[in-house]
Structure 1
Amino acid sequence: MGATRSAFAIRGFRLLWLAGLLSVVGDQLARVALSILVFQRTGSAALSAATYALSMLPALVSGALLSWLADRYPRRRVMVACDVIRAALVGVMAVPAVPLPLMAVLLVLVQLAEAPFSAAQGAVLPELLGSRYEAGQTVQQVTTQLCLVLGFAAAAFVVTAVGAHAALAVDAATFAASGLLIRAGLGRHPPPGSTEREATWWRRIAAGAVAVRRDRTLGTLVWLGWLALFTVVPEGLAVPFAQQAGVGGEWIGVLLAAEPGGAAVGALLLRRVARPVRVRALGVLAVGTAAPLVAFWGRPALGTALALLFVSGLCSAYQVTAGATFVQLSPPRVRGRTLGFARTGMIAGQGLGIVAGGVLAQLVGPAAAIAWAGTAGALVALAAAAAWARRRPDAVSAALPAEA
């Protein structure tokens, strides 16, 4: 734990960590509030899941088209601009008179600004942390997952107490606070010099995908990350699954919190393992993330379902090591775009997975839909694990910068 806490010795990291934490709390509160509201009004699992996914799918466009901004302009400027835009848009969403269709459009616009922010943040962190980079990633993973646990568990009660529009106002305030923290406490962090300033618009956009395509190790790490499209399905189906299991709405937050809770514990445990072992175990843990969901074929009771989701989250902690390895191996001059490309696929894939899970749940029920996702995910994860073994994980670990 001492090595993990060492990341807090760096002031810039502390500010980015706090800014990110504020945004996570506000985002999850707003996302769950909208999902519950839609299900209550329509009774449709597909529409409830689609509302949840609407906060993810725009990344399919923004990640591809906008991540290059993080490699073109000072990264602090990019992050602050994105926060200002998101605070303004969510502030409009918080107005009670705004109809639901317009709120959906505004939500899409909010998410379009997420990709350049994340790409800039992801490119800055290796510069700030150096040899403490994976320690910082572990801190972010654990605290973010804990915020998700608390946010999901409290969402239903908060929405009941203050209403969906007040929850959206809180979300807008968190974006504003994040922008102020970054503007006040972070250096400019200009991108590395590059001849790509004269390159065509398309080449600037495609540079991240090209870098991943040319490097098989980066490509396999992206594959391992994108497996989240299968394991995110239970999140989108928490509301209808709770109804199928015959439990009250207060258990929705607990169901949503089970996987993030497991992920937080898993990240702490995995950090105690030597890095060569962590890197070598990526494929096995990827399979372990999807495999517990296969047991939903038996329509588990609430307690069993929570245990299965917790174990799935526990294994999903491999994403910290996979993500840190990917960023450290990415060429610095296109790091923002490679990270943007990877995040685009992951977030958009999660959105598509939730939508597909919601449609499937309408046909076969929530438990069976989760089981289908787990079965497909386990099969794809096995293939990804075999591909990772061919990348010689020990050699990959040796090529990484020494840890602090």
Structure 2
Amino acid sequence: MSSSEPLRRNRDFVLLWSGSAFSITGSTASTVAVPLLVLAVTGSAAAAGLAGFVALLPLLVLPVPAGVLVDRCDRKRLMLWCDVVRGLNAASIVLALALGRLTLPQILAVGVVEGSLSVLHDLAAHAAVPNLVPDSRLTEALSLAEARERGATMLGTPLGGLLFGLARALPFLFDAVSYLVSVVTLLLIRKDFQRPSAVDHEQPREPVLPQLAAGFAWLWRQPFLRTATLAVAGSNLLFRALFLAVLVFSRTLGASPAAVGLLLGVAGAGGLLGSLAASWCQRRLRLRTLVVGANWVWALLALGIALTRDLYLLGALYALMWFVGPIWNVAVATQQLRTTPDHLQGRVLGAGALLSGGALPLGSLAGGLLLQYAGTATTLAVLAGWMVLLAAAVTLAGAVRTPPAPEPPHTIPTHPDLEVSQ
């Protein structure tokens, strides 16, 4: 494919994008339905919370070992098996409901399998993108991937509740079918998901620990990516705590549950618009400007949220925070994919996911404790102060002030069928 042709004419990328869109929509619908199903089966809110915890646990423990598999195995084959097993996994809920044999242990097991294979599938899909699109279209591809994920999540969330209201098994049946669609689209893709020799770059009997540490070691030697990853971890602490604080604050301002849902829906729309704008922003702004500017915009918006007492302004400020997120994500992800050797992509992605994603439960815990013992106003002030300090640290970081120059063409992951253009 010529680098000048639009991505909509890139058959393989369109297949990957559309198949993933179906599977994300299906998995979101079933994720929303799980706590409703647990409550219906057990009547226990604690059991519903446990189901959510075990489903998220793989995000904390699996990114790094999953990255090793993504680098050492055929990525397309891994994704196919993940979709097949996840489809059967969701179908097991449908079968158990039909037979009247569904139990809490089965729901928990299904959650663990779904969460674990989703980590592996998502890392493989992300690492495959540079091998399916020309380098000049990489930013656009990542922007569309962000939009796909946010749009599918926005669609899947209400759909899960709607389907569950019609019949308890429907969200899980839809999830199983969505994985079947993804399998078909993957089988139709012609290009390889990694360089032909990528799997052979390492010794087959290399010890396990060096393989697990390779992503962290490479990431730590890249000053810009190291700083960006730590900044993401710091900001994720804020965002997770702020999510809970905004919910509590909006209720304090008199918002009904329906209004809170609308506020979150507007925020999700802001994230979707930011995804669509990310490619445009990166074409017109320097990497340093995007990275530093995003942190200061978040800091100013967090200060605005702490100071406002108007519900509509609160919703607008929070939606703007969501708008900026994808622009940051695409800018940093483009730099990471362009500079990481193809045979290390999975492990570097896994290391970054562990560092940034590991901050989410800590942020949730910190937000809950602050709200409980310090109150809403103090919590919002602390979070705003934290974001200002983080923005200042990013601004002063030498690695961000002088980001790395673009890599020479021969170091960028390529595929023989792709025309790479700087």
TM-score normalised per structure 1: 0.83
Structure 1 unmatched ranges of 5 or more:
none
Residue among 279, 296, 305 paired with 1:287: 296
Partner of residue 66, structure 2: 66
Distance 1:403 1:19, change over 3 A: same
Q: How many residues align?
A: 398
Report the structure number with the largest CA radius of gyration. 2
Give deviations 1:56-79, integer Å, cap 9, x for gaps.
442221102221111111111011
Give deviations 1:296-351, integer Å, cap 9, x for gaps.
43574432221111110122121111111111111222112111221233333224
Partner of residue 103, structure 1: 107
Residue among 112, 116, 122 paired with 2:116: 112
The question of whether the paired residues in 2 share the 8 Å contact of 1:86 and 1:175 is answered with yes
SS, match of residue 98 in structure 1: coil
Q: Tell me whether 1:168 sits opposite 2:172 in the alignment.
A: yes
The question of whether the paired residues in 1 share the 8 Å contact of 2:295 and 2:387 is answered with no
Partner of residue 273, structure 2: 265
Distance 1:88 1:352, change over 3 A: farther
Residue among 312, 315, 319 paired with 2:324: 315
Residue among 125, 131, 140 paired with 1:127: 131
Partner of residue 84, structure 2: 84
CA deviation after TM superposition for structure 1 residue 17, in Å: 0.5
The question of whether the paired residues in 1 share the 8 Å contact of 2:295 and 2:390 is answered with no
Give deviations 1:116-142, integer Å, cap 9, x for gaps.
212211221101112211111111112
Code of the residue aligned with 1:346 in structure 2: it is S
CA deviation after TM superposition for structure 1 residue 390, in Å: 4.4
CA deviation after TM superposition for structure 1 residue 366, in Å: 6.5
The question of whether the paired residues in 1 share the 8 Å contact of 2:215 and 2:344 is answered with yes
Q: Tell me whether 1:16 sits opposite 2:25 in the alignment.
A: no
Structure 2 unmatched ranges of 5 or more:
413-419
Report the Cα distance in structure 2 between the residues aligned to 1:52 and 1:301, rounded to whole angstroms. 33
TM-score normalised per structure 2: 0.80
- Range with bigger deviation, 232-241 or 7-16: 232-241
CA deviation after TM superposition for structure 1 residue 4, in Å: 10
The question of whether the paired residues in 1 share the 8 Å contact of 2:29 and 2:161 is answered with no
The question of whether the paired residues in 1 share the 8 Å contact of 2:143 and 2:275 is answered with yes
Q: Tell me whether 1:335 sits opposite 2:342 in the alignment.
A: no
RMSD over equivalenced CA pairs, Å: 3.6
SS, match of residue 129 in structure 1: coil
Report the Cα distance in structure 2 between the residues aligned to 1:99 and 1:369, rounded to whole angstroms. 40
CA deviation after TM superposition for structure 1 residue 294, in Å: 3.9
CA deviation after TM superposition for structure 1 residue 224, in Å: 3.5
Partner of residue 209, structure 1: 216
Code of the residue aligned with 2:138 in structure 1: it is Y
Report the Cα distance in structure 2 between the residues aligned to 1:62 and 1:246, rounded to whole angstroms. 41
Code of the residue aligned with 1:185 in structure 2: it is I
Matched-pair identity in %: 21
SS, match of residue 145 in structure 1: helix
Code of the residue aligned with 1:189 in structure 2: it is F
CA deviation after TM superposition for structure 1 residue 219, in Å: 0.9
Distance 1:93 1:138, change over 3 A: same
The question of whether the paired residues in 2 share the 8 Å contact of 1:230 and 1:373 is answered with yes
Give deviations 1:91-122, integer Å, cap 9, x for gaps.
33454453446524432332111222122112
The question of whether the paired residues in 2 share the 8 Å contact of 1:218 and 1:326 is answered with yes
Code of the residue aligned with 1:175 in structure 2: it is Y
CA deviation after TM superposition for structure 1 residue 170, in Å: 2.3
CA deviation after TM superposition for structure 1 residue 241, in Å: 5.8
CA deviation after TM superposition for structure 1 residue 89, in Å: 2.5
